[in-house]
Amino acid sequence: MIPASIPVSNYAQSIALGAAPEALLQTLDADWARLALRNV
């Protein structure tokens, strides 16, 4: 389950429309890291 605070569907749509996946995956990774810090 992916929390609503991480807009993964927006990221997937951006990749599907031609955005660079590397940058979006870095953002997604940072989102998960931020969420993990909040839940420690």
37 pLDDT tier (thresholds 50, 70, 90)? confident
How much is the pLDDT for 22?
97
**What pLDDT, on a 0 to 100 scale, did the predictor assign at position 27?**
96
Task: Name the pTM for this structure.
Answer: 0.79
Percent of the chain with pLDDT over 90: 85
Residue type, 21: P
* DSSP of 1-40: ---TTS-HHHHHHHHHTT--HHHHHHHHHHHHHHHHHHT-
Q: In whole numbers, what is the pLDDT of the chain averaged over residues?
A: 94
Q: Which residue has the higher pLDDT, 1 or 16?
A: 16
Residue 21 has pLDDT above 90, yes or no: yes
